[in-house]
């Protein structure tokens, strides 16, 4: 069992490249993009690029970020770039391969890692090998790269890559393989699904993974990896990637329990949406907007409308016990992402809920991940609203949120016990949850009060010295007979050391 050592200390920041920052250095910057501050649209481009991101690295460094997870950056005709045209070239709209080279150099100089989004389950209609088959049918040497209908391959029926209304109706009835001639991911015509049992396809995809690790990236976030239902594929993927860089991070986008993929031979971690699903109802309480939460299909049905402190604590204990400790410490703990409404919108704009949730993910095992713009109060319901452009006009920033997150990040970075220490549940009642983290003689108590009133609690205290408030404003702090007693203010969190 080996996960990259650096991940356990990392503070991640997820960026949707088209929406983060623009640069005058980008040769494509003079193309007609949508206005930066206009509402995002499903198909529109704002013109964010990797040069722009590079120019904002100091902002991220000052925030405390040490690792960046980028949504797909390879050539594509979609603003989200999950429809890959060319796996060996960064999209020209993002500045091309040179822009990534510059980003990597500048990030690494600051001690920051870069993890790319790998879309290896499906390509796009513009992908060369797929297009080759559309043009030449069974004569194409790429005919085994995707799942095709034999009648289309042999010219007995026409391809439906751009389906008519009749073909769209047929897709709903019988799926893309029969209706338009090839298997598409979730029957979406723009996304032909790779035939990953074909040796040439496997070699191509493993080659892509190796190439960008050699280029200098620090890991892969794998899009819908469970759709490649083949352990040997991911085992070989891991072997090939780790042979190039033994410390490369491999994290899968899996929204549910993932023991199958986290045995040490496939992924290091998954995006921990199960923590998201628990945090939302506990910290928000009656503010939770279930109609907005349920727009996120991946956690739909997993988020309760309310969650008591005891039930929340039970769920966190369960999640922390699912995997080996090294994997648990490498999990990507997040509150929201490009695939769901922003946390702030899910909790009806309540900033206290977000602050409590931030303190929580900064103090539990696993690498915390911040979705771009959350730190300055960016909101948004489901796609495309959760993919707004970052407002670089600082007058539009929520300074209270930004300052709080900076402090919470500093807390984690300054205390090794919060990153690598033991975890002990201490209190769960009256909408207050408390736990301890300890390492090499250093111990901290974290208490999170999601209620509307100040709450007194007491927890075991082994250390002889008097505890000090290290974060937040606890009151009435005393130690009596080996018990630490203190009061946690309403709707806030505290840390004592």
Q: How far is it, in rounded angstroms, from Cα 426 to Cα 62?
A: 33
Among 418, 411, 417, smallest CA distance to 441 is for: 417
Residue with tokens 């870069």: 114
Among 18, 13, 118, smallest CA distance to 384 is for: 18
The alpha-helical segments, DSSP class H, found in 216-332 are: 231-244, 273-284, 290-293, 309-320, 325-328
DSSP label of 19: G
Angle at 125 between CA 124 and CA 130, to 5 degrees: 95
Q: One of 55, 218, 223, 339 is an active-site residue; which one? A: 223
Q: How many CB atoms within 10 Å of residue 20?
A: 25
Q: How far is it, in rounded angstroms, from Cα 472 to Cα 492?
A: 8
What is the widest separation between alpha-carbon atoms in the chain? 85
Given a contact cutoff of 8 angstroms between Cβ atoms, the answer to whether 261 and 255 are in contact is no
Among 295, 296, 279, smallest CA distance to 287 is for: 279
9 belongs to the catalytic site: no
Residue with tokens 């009648």: 151
Q: How far is it, in rounded angstroms, from Cα 359 to Cα 457?
A: 18
462 belongs to the catalytic site: no
Residue ranges with strand state E in 39-193: 67-70, 74-76, 84-90, 113-118
Q: One of 117, 253, 315, 336 is an active-site residue; which one? A: 253
Given a contact cutoff of 8 angstroms between Cβ atoms, the answer to whether 343 and 283 are in contact is no
Residue with tokens 């990507």: 332
CA-to-CA dists, residue 181 to 149, 155, 167, 192, 311, angstroms: 5, 11, 11, 10, 49
Given a contact cutoff of 8 angstroms between Cβ atoms, the answer to whether 340 and 386 are in contact is yes
Catalytic residue IDs = 223, 253
């Amino acid at each position: 069992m080996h996960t990259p050592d650096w991940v356990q200390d990392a503070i991640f920041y997820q960026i949707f490249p088209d929406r983060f920052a623009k640069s005058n250095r980008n040769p494509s910057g003079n193309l007609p993009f949508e206005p930066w501050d206009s509402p995002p649209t499903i198909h529109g481009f704002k013109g964010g690029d990797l040069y722009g991101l590079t120019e904002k690295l100091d902002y991220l460094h000052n925030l405390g970020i040490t690792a960046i997870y980028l949504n797909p950056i390879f050539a594509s005709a979609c603003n989200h770039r999950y429809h890959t045209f060319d796996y060996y070239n960064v999209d020209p709209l993002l500045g091309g391969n040179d822009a990534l080279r510059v980003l990597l150099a500048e990030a690494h100089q600051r001690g920051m890692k870069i993890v790319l989004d790998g879309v290896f389950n499906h390509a796009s209609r513009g992908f060369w090998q797929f297009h080759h088959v559309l043009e030449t049918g069974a004569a194409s040497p790429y005919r085994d790269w995707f799942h095709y209908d034999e009648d289309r391959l042999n010219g007995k029926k026409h391809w439906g890559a751009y389906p008519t209304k009749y073909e769209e109706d047929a897709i709903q009835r019988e799926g893309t393989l029969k209706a338009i001639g090839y298997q598409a991911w979730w029957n979406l015509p723009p996304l032909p699904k790779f035939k990953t049992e074909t040796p040439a396809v496997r070699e191509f995809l493993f080659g892509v993974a190796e190439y960008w690790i050699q280029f200098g990236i620090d890991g892969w976030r794998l899009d819908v990896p469970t759709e490649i239902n083949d352990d040997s594929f991911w085992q070989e993927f891991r072997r090939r990637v780790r042979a190039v860089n033994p410390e490369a991070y491999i994290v899968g986008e899996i929204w549910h329990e993932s023991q199958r993929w986290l045995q040490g031979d496939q992924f290091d971690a998954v995006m921990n949406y199960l923590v998201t699903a628990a945090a939302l109802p506990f910290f928000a309480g009656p503010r939770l907007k279930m109609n907005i939460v349920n727009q996120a299909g991946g956690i739909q049905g997993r988020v309760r409308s309310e969650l008591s402190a005891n039930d929340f604590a039970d769920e966190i204990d369960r999640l922390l016990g699912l995997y080996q400790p090294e994997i648990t410490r490498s999990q990507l703990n997040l509150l929201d992402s490009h695939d769901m409404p922003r946390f702030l919108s899910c909790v009806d704009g309540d900033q206290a809920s977000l602050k409590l949730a931030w303190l929580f993910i900064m103090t539990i095992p696993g690498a915390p991940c911040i979705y771009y713009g959350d730190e300055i109060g960016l909101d948004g319901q489901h796609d495309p609203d959760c993919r707004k452009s970052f407002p670089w006009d600082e007058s539009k920033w929520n300074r209270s949120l930004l300052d709080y997150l900076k402090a919470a990040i500093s807390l984690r970075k300054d205390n090794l016990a919060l990153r690598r220490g033991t975890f002990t549940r201490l209190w769960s009642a009256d909408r207050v949850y408390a736990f301890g983290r300890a390492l090499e003689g250093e111990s901290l108590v974290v208490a999170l009060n999601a209620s509307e009133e100040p709450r007194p609690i007491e927890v075991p205290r082994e250390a002889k010295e008097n505890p000090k408030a290290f974060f937040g404003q606890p009151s009435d702090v005393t130690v009596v007979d080996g018990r630490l007693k203190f009061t946690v203010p309403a709707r806030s969190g505290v840390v004592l050391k």
